[in-house]
Amino acid sequence: MGIDVWVRRGRRQPSTAVPETGAEARIRLEAGSGDWLLLADERERTRYSQLLLDIRGTLGAERCRFGKWSDSSDSGVTLSELIDAGVRGVVDFRAARHVSESELLVPGGELEQLSRSAEARRALWQRVRGLLER
């Protein structure tokens, strides 16, 4: 009869998934271009928009775009693909997690901590500065 069966799926949660062992982490890119990628979910970006504007201003707003970790091994791009595309640095604003050994990946720290602590912001700048000087 040609009747499709529809299966209801649960709501997607924000991606906190870490890829399976052996699988390379993938990142879903949002619209835009630039050689710096800032990884943060939409809620965090809204809540800490002024802080992120300051960070983008420091790096150069035209040089930054946003993305988030993919919860699927089939969607997004890998860190090595980003390098090939000319991305210079990826700043991850999540709780510290070991995802990749890539020198491209800079642990940004949690946005809440960065918003409260000048010391955390200085530490982030020290990590980013090394990539900027290349």
Cβ–Cβ < 8 Å for 70, 76: yes
Region of residue 34 (phi > 0: left; psi between -120 and 50: alpha; otherwise: beta): left
pLDDT at 105: 86
- 8 has pLDDT over 80: no
Q: Which of the pair, 81 or 20, is modelled with greater confidence?
A: 81
- 112 has pLDDT over 60: yes
- 11 has pLDDT over 60: no
Domains of the chain: 26-132 (3.40.50)
For the entire predicted model, the pTM comes to 0.77
Region of residue 86 (phi > 0: left; psi between -120 and 50: alpha; otherwise: beta): left
pLDDT at 18: 47
* Model confidence pLDDT, tens digit, residues 100-111: 667 788 889 899
Mean pLDDT for the chain? 82
- 84 has pLDDT over 70: yes
Dihedral sign for Cα atoms in the order 24, 109, 96, 17: negative
